[in-house]
Amino acid sequence: MDILSDIVPSQRETGSACREALRQQVREFFRQGAGEAREVVSLSEPVDIQDPLLWLVSQSPAEKSYWSSRRRVYQQACIGVADIQSSAAPIAPTSLTTTLRALDFLPGGRYVGGMRFDPSVASDDRWGSYGTYRFILPRVEVRKTPAGTRVRLHVLPGRDTEADVLSVLDQLCFHEEKQTFPASFPALSHRIDAPERSTWEATVQRVLKEIRSSELEKLVLARLATFEFSGSLDAMHVLYRLREATSRCFHYAILPREGPSFIGATPELLFSQRGRTIRSEAVAGTRPRSADKVEDEALGRALLESEKDQREHAFVRDRIEAALKPHTSRLSVQSTPTVMELANKRHLHSRIEGFLHPSVDKWDLLGALHPTPAVGGTPTDRAVKDIRAHEPVDRGWYAGPVGWVEDGDATFGVGIRCGLVQGKRLALYSGAGIVEGSDPASEWEEIEHKIRDFIDVLGLDSTQS
């Protein structure tokens, strides 16, 4: 339930005015009697915050998260925990949809979070604080849309007291961080690849043999590059620079109170549901960008003309179409892919849009679409089994769904182009789609291109990457 002020944003220009207006709303709410309703109450005020990410930096240490759409048309920055739905217990793929649908999400609240790529396997120590799935209803959020920016304070009737809620307000900063980030990051000490190159390329060769001799058509093989620095990294600083360099991506950050921070800039939307409308997309097939215009145009043509990349893309597009058809009364699939051009790379891209049957919800869609062949392979069950056999590191939330859910709506990106930041360490996860015709050396270089956004914003020399 939203309780919205009718005061226009220009009348709430100062943080102190916004804080006092929310105080009045809190007092009035509890004066009238909070009741026992199982519905989130959002006390909301317009606020003069230009960059929700910098607002988040300004806050005291706490559970934090951030999500933004492409080109920052929509942004959401969250702090604190009003409610949490999480578990570390593995979930069989066949019961994933049922398990998630049974969670006690409170109506009226937007929960931010995600889940593991493979929920049937327990987390390793690196991903321990994330669990199998983790969705947080933040205590406070700043949400920026084309209609304006509002701060929302979430109150749970029957659980929260007036004193508790007012205490949260007292601790909040109502302006963006005025100090700038440092001009540079700590120096790189060393890099560790898991597996190292020769082992990874040998694994690709084994996968190619499997493709030729079995039902396996495509396998996305991932690896981990861990960078150690001379000093601690600030995850929000890394994300801020990454966001500036990758405007055409979705940006996300999950920062638990304890443990590493998960940040990324994904080019890939898993799905977006608004009522009965569904949007998804196929993103597969990769080429780098070039600073030279002529060479860059040639690389774009080569991607469109590549039989291998077109075939890899078709696996993804056809699988998404097949997954959505049973859930939709109308489905439109772009038959000829176009090129999605990002800062340092480009991908083949196809739009997919449809209208859902009345009985279908977001958990049906998540269960049907994850994992796509863009991050798993084809056929899905065989690919996931082979990933467990071939990859020496736990993917954790890499390539899993990350985003938000709210009543009948949801948006999930695919958690790729990502890293875990903890202390002096940055662990980058990325993968390459192996199909007939793949070359192991070229696939290694493709992953290097995929992690280049991080490499560039950290100011590392190309020979170090």
Distances in Å between the Cα of 7 and the Cα atoms of 144, 149, 196, 309 are: 17, 13, 59, 53
In the chain, where the domains are located: 188-464
Phi and psi for 71 in degrees, rounded to 5? 60, 20
Q: What pLDDT, on the 0 to 100 scale, is given for residue 7?
A: 36
Contact criterion met (CB below 8 Å) for 427 and 126: yes
CATH annotation of 188-464? 3.60.120.10
Task: State yes or no: is 443 an active-site residue.
Answer: no
Q: What is the DSSP string of 61-110?
A: SS-EEEEE-GGGSSEEEEES-SEEEEE-S---GGGHHHHHHTS-PPTT--
Q: What pLDDT, on the 0 to 100 scale, is given for residue 1?
A: 57
Question: Among residues 45, 144, 217, 218, which one is catalytic?
Answer: 218
Q: What pLDDT, on the 0 to 100 scale, is given for residue 296?
A: 94
Peptide bond into 107 cis (omega under 30): no
Q: Which residues of the chain have pLDDT under 70?
A: 1-13, 34-35, 178-179, 462-465
Distances in Å between the Cα of 262 and the Cα atoms of 52, 214, 412 are: 18, 36, 15
∠ CA 142-425-449 to the nearest 5 degrees? 85
DSSP state of 339: E
Contact criterion met (CB below 8 Å) for 76 and 143: yes
Question: Among residues 268, 281, 321, 443, which one is catalytic?
Answer: 268
Task: State yes or no: is 268 an active-site residue.
Answer: yes
Long-range (24+ apart) CB contacts under 8 A made by 25-29 are: 25/153, 26/153, 26/155, 26/162, 26/165, 26/166, 26/169, 27/162, 29/3, 29/155
Q: What pLDDT, on the 0 to 100 scale, is given for residue 464?
A: 55
Beta pairing partners, 350 = 282
H or E stretch including 407?
none
Q: For residue 187, which amino acid is it? A: A
Rounded to whole angstroms, the Cα distance separating 212 from 216 reads: 8
How many C-beta atoms surround the C-beta of residue 223 within 10 A?
24
Find where tokens 């940055």 sit: 426
Could you report the per-residue pLDDT of 332-342, keeping only the tens digit for each? 999 999 999 99
H or E stretch including 119?
none
Contacts of 345 (CB under 8 A, 6+ apart): 286, 287, 288, 289, 449, 450, 452
Rounded to whole angstroms, the Cα distance separating 102 from 26 reads: 31
